[in-house]
Every structure is written in structure tokens, then in C-alpha cells.
Amino acid sequence: MRMKSISLRSLSLMGVVSAFFVLAACADSSSPEKGAASEIADVALANSVYDALMASTNDKGQATKARLRQDEVQEFCSKPRSDYGDAERANAIREARMALVQMPADGEFIGDWARGAEVANNGRGLQYSDDPAAPNGGNCYACHQMDPREVAYGTIGPSLTNYGARGQSEVMLQYTWTKMWDTHAYNLCSHMPRFGAQGILTEQQLKDVMAYLLDPASPVNQPLEAQQEN
């Protein structure tokens, strides 16, 4: 249920009102009002942010204002890392995301690592500056190290160099696939995009990235040549 648009002036009034409830609740330790009032304030604030963004943006190319509407994961995760309280709700969302994961239709997880390398290097896709007809990239190198020969890698995510050492058991294939499909199934509020669940990559592209990570022949799993003595 969505509340009507609220101006920022009434937001500060909301703050005062919810503060009043908080103080009132403190007087009676068994009162549930504190949680309810801060939830109302949270919802009001979230709607106000949505309204402000809607009024402050224009549709452009494929990036329409519909993208500003948050789903459950986005809404829950729109806070500092230190604030991820409410373990019960977190578990519920995580389990819901796990239930939505779609494994490959034909049961084959491993594609072509050379195509997977292209997906990993390609940072384009879904911006209003991108051609909607062109395939999306995974932009894996933005955040991860993979091929040890590649120096231009990011450090927002852990290194995936030699990922293939984990082998290709059914468990490992499903785990790796799920991480890419929807990382929140394991790690709620991770920074990583939901490449499958949000339709960023196709099933074939995901299989190709799986190969880039898991195929023993992939450069990700080839160690650096030993340094030559001079």
C-alpha cells in the first residue's frame, strides 16, 4: 500500500511525530509502538525519495522512470551496510529469491569460455547511452579479478582467479550459477547485480561466463608464467 506524495516539510513533521512515539514507547518497555512508528517514517521517507526522483528525471532511451520503482530486494537493501537489521525479514527475502532461481533449461551449465571472456570485459548494456539492440555485458572486471594476466580489474568483489580449482560437481555448478542469477539467494544486499533474475544476461551468456570461471582451459585457471631470471 503506497502513501500519497509527501512534501519534505511534512517529512520533518513526520520526524517529530515519530520521535514523539519513540519517546512515548521508551516509557513503556513492552509497547510495540516504537517499531510501528519508525516503519511509518521509513515508508514515508522511501515514498518521498521515489517522488523526488520521479520529479527529477526524464525518460531517456531505454532508461525509463519505471526503473525507479523498487522491488522488495531493492527496498530492503537501500540502507548503509551497517543497518541490515531485521534478520527475520532478511531470511524471508533470501529464501524467496532462492525459490525464484532458474537453472538452465537443458541442464547444461558450461558454455564457451572465449565468449565468456567477452561478456566479462563488456561494460555496456541497459544505459540510455547504449544501443538496445546490442547484447548486454556482464562487466565482471569492473569488480572482480579473473584472468591473472589482466591488470585492469576492480576490487569491489573478491578475486575469482583460479575459480576452476573448485571443480564442477553438481553442487558447485548450481552454486556458481545461483550467485550470478541472483546473488541475494545467498548474500542478501550484496552489491552484485542479479544477472539472471533481472534479465541482464541471457542464459547462453551466463553459461559462457560459467565456462570462463570453471573450464580448466580458461585463462582464469591458467597460472601466470614463472618470472624469467635475468
Give the integer Cα–Cα distance in Å for 23 and 8: 23
Give the integer Cα–Cα distance in Å for 158 and 180: 14
* Nearest approach, Cβ of residue 156 and another protein (Å): 5
* Nearest approach, Cβ of residue 191 and another protein (Å): 5
* Nearest approach, Cβ of residue 224 and another protein (Å): 19
Contacts of 179 (CB under 8 A, 6+ apart): 186, 192
User: Using the rule CB under 8 A, which residue among 142, 148, 174, 222 binds another protein?
Assistant: 142
Position 159 contacts another protein (CB under 8 A): no
Residues binding another protein: number (CB under 8 A)? 50
Position 169 contacts another protein (CB under 8 A): no
User: Using the rule CB under 8 A, which residue among 18, 48, 176, 218 binds another protein?
Assistant: 48
Is residue 229 exposed (0-12), middle (13-18) or buried (19+ Cβ within 10 Å)? Answer: exposed
Question: 129 or 228: whose CB is closer to another protein?
Answer: 129
In this structure, the number of other CB atoms found within 10 A of the CB of residue 180 comes to: 23
Contacts of 211 (CB under 8 A, 6+ apart): 110, 111, 112, 113, 115, 116, 218
Sign of CA dihedral 11, 16, 20, 26: positive
Question: Where does this chain touch another protein (CB under 8 A) — which range of 19-27, 69-77, 169-177, 213-221?
Answer: 69-77
In this structure, the number of other CB atoms found within 10 A of the CB of residue 159 comes to: 12
Question: Where does this chain touch another protein (CB under 8 A) — which range of 43-51, 87-95, 99-107, 158-166?
Answer: 43-51
Q: Tell me which amino acid residue 192 is.
A: M
* Nearest approach, Cβ of residue 73 and another protein (Å): 7
* Nearest approach, Cβ of residue 76 and another protein (Å): 9
For residue 93, what is its C-alpha cell? 527475502
DSSP state at residue 224: P
Position 85 contacts another protein (CB under 8 A): no
Q: Which residue has the cell 550459477?
A: 177
Question: Where does this chain touch another protein (CB under 8 A) — which range of 23-31, 61-69, 99-107, 208-216?
Answer: 61-69
Residues that bind another protein (CB under 8 A): 8-9, 11-12, 45-46, 48-49, 52-53, 55-60, 63-65, 67-70, 73-75, 77-81, 126-129, 141-143, 151-156, 191, 193-194, 198-200
